[in-house]
Structure 1
Amino acid sequence: MNDILTIAGLTTTPLELLSFVLAVITVALNIRQNHWAWLFAIISSAAYGVVFYGARLYGDMGLQLVFIVVSFWGWYQWLHGGTGKQALAVTQLDGRGWAICIAAWLFGFALLSTFLAKFTNTDVPHIDGFLTAGSLVGQVLLSRKKVQNWHVWIMVDVLYVGLYLFKGLTLTAILYALFCVMAAAGLVAWRKAAQA
């Protein structure tokens, strides 16, 4: 799965290509609030964990493991996390919720970037830690069907494009550019759902 492929002038591997396709399916299903997105998220995260290990993006690799665990929780939340164990509805964060998210992101960034700098051979500990912490915040918000998960994903995805280009993961950089567009569509769709 690590053989080199060239597709439309881009160098990739079969595993990165498979991860790409599964991730696009995941986000498309998330936009539609389809709970099967969580199954695709689990498989995609497992595949991307291996890709990121090979690129020495250990924060992202660890994040994929966390995504797998959180995906089981998110799947349950979407189906039974609402009032009376009903399906969860799309809602908005209040000011207090935003403050908690920002504090969690900053705390996670400090913790992860320090760990990555001291205990791994990564050459990008700070941006990896920052984006890993932000992705965790986005994943929790997605799991609780908060509209603002899309704001977080847009911010994170824009920065990931640059990181993946730097690391030579061009196909994954294209994926995250596509994620920016999909996250904007998700934001519009979920705002409408929250208002309804």
Structure 2
Amino acid sequence: MNDTLTIAGLTTTPLELISFVLAAVTVILNIRQKHWAWLFSIVSSATYAAVFFDARLYGDMGLQFVFVAASIWGWYQWLHGSDHQPLVVTRLKSSHRVWALAAWLVGFVLLSTFLDNFTDTDVPHADGFLTAGSLVGQLLLARKKVENWHVWIAVDILYVGLYLYKGLVLTAVLYGVFVLLAIAGLRTWSALARERA
């Protein structure tokens, strides 16, 4: 699965290609609020963990295991909601936005410190920052908060640069596609939140 192959001039591996397809399906299903997105998320996270291990992106690798757990929780949330009421798309309260940003900052400091001191990664701060942001985005997505798309737009733009730097060109292309999908998700979910309001 680690043999190199070239598709449309991009060098990749079969495992990265499979991960690419699964991750794209996940986001498309998320925009449409289909709970099966979480199954695709679990599988793509597992395959991307191996891809990121090979690239020495240990924060991203570890994040994939957290994504598996968060996806199981998110799947449950989307199926059962809170107090057995279906979850609907809503916006965060102002105070919750502050908490989300604070969680991102604390996660960044902790993760980048760990990665810098205990791994051989050459990008501990970028890896830590984007890993922490991805965790925040995933938790907001699981609770159907519109702001998850703001987080994903920011994170995905920065991931494009990181993956190009690490030579994961197909994954960089995927994250460029994710930026466009996240913009579409933001528009769709914003409209749903306005209708509910």
Q: Normalization by structure 1: what TM-score?
A: 0.98
Question: Matches of residues 96-115 of structure 1 in structure 2 within 5 Å?
Answer: 96-115=95-114
Question: How many Å separate the matches in 2 of 1:153 and 1:7?
Answer: 26
1:149 maps to 148
1:21 maps to 21
8 Å CA contact retained: 1:27, 1:182:
yes
Alpha-carbon displacement from aligned partner over 1:37-82 (angstroms, at most 9, x marks no partner): 0000000000000000000000000000000000000001111123
Instruction: Give the 3-state SS of the residue equivalent to 1:6 in structure 2.
Output: strand
Measured after TM superposition, the shift of residue 162 of structure 1 is 0.1
Question: How many Å separate the matches in 2 of 1:14 and 1:50?
Answer: 12
Question: How many Å separate the matches in 2 of 1:32 and 1:81?
Answer: 17
1:56 maps to 56
Measured after TM superposition, the shift of residue 193 of structure 1 is 1.2
Alpha-carbon displacement from aligned partner over 1:148-180 (angstroms, at most 9, x marks no partner): 000000000000000000000000000000000
Matched, 1:2 2:37: no
Unaligned stretches of 5+ in structure 2? Answer: none
Question: How many Å separate the matches in 1 of 2:43 and 2:132?
Answer: 21
Measured after TM superposition, the shift of residue 87 of structure 1 is 1.6
How many residues are matched? Answer: 195
Matched, 1:116 2:122: no
Question: How many Å separate the matches in 2 of 1:192 and 1:109?
Answer: 31
8 Å CA contact retained: 1:79, 1:86:
no
Cα-Cα RMSD? 0.6
Question: How many Å separate the matches in 2 of 1:103 and 1:81?
Answer: 25
Instruction: Give the 3-state SS of the residue equivalent to 2:132 in structure 1.
Output: helix
Question: How many Å separate the matches in 2 of 1:193 and 1:80?
Answer: 19
1:11 maps to 11
Alignment-mate amino acid for residue 91 of structure 2: Q
Question: How many Å separate the matches in 2 of 1:24 and 1:38?
Answer: 12
Measured after TM superposition, the shift of residue 94 of structure 1 is 1.1
Percent identity for Structure 1 against Structure 2:
69
8 Å CA contact retained: 1:57, 1:122:
yes
Measured after TM superposition, the shift of residue 86 of structure 1 is 2.2
Alignment-mate amino acid for residue 175 of structure 1: L
Matched, 1:183 2:179: no
Measured after TM superposition, the shift of residue 100 of structure 1 is 0.2
Instruction: Give the 3-state SS of the residue equivalent to 1:85 in structure 2.
Output: coil
Question: How many Å separate the matches in 2 of 1:51 and 1:171?
Answer: 11
Alignment-mate amino acid for residue 53 of structure 2: Y
Instruction: Give the 3-state SS of the residue equivalent to 1:162 in structure 2.
Output: helix
8 Å CA contact retained: 1:165, 1:173:
yes
Question: How many Å separate the matches in 2 of 1:116 and 1:107?
Answer: 14
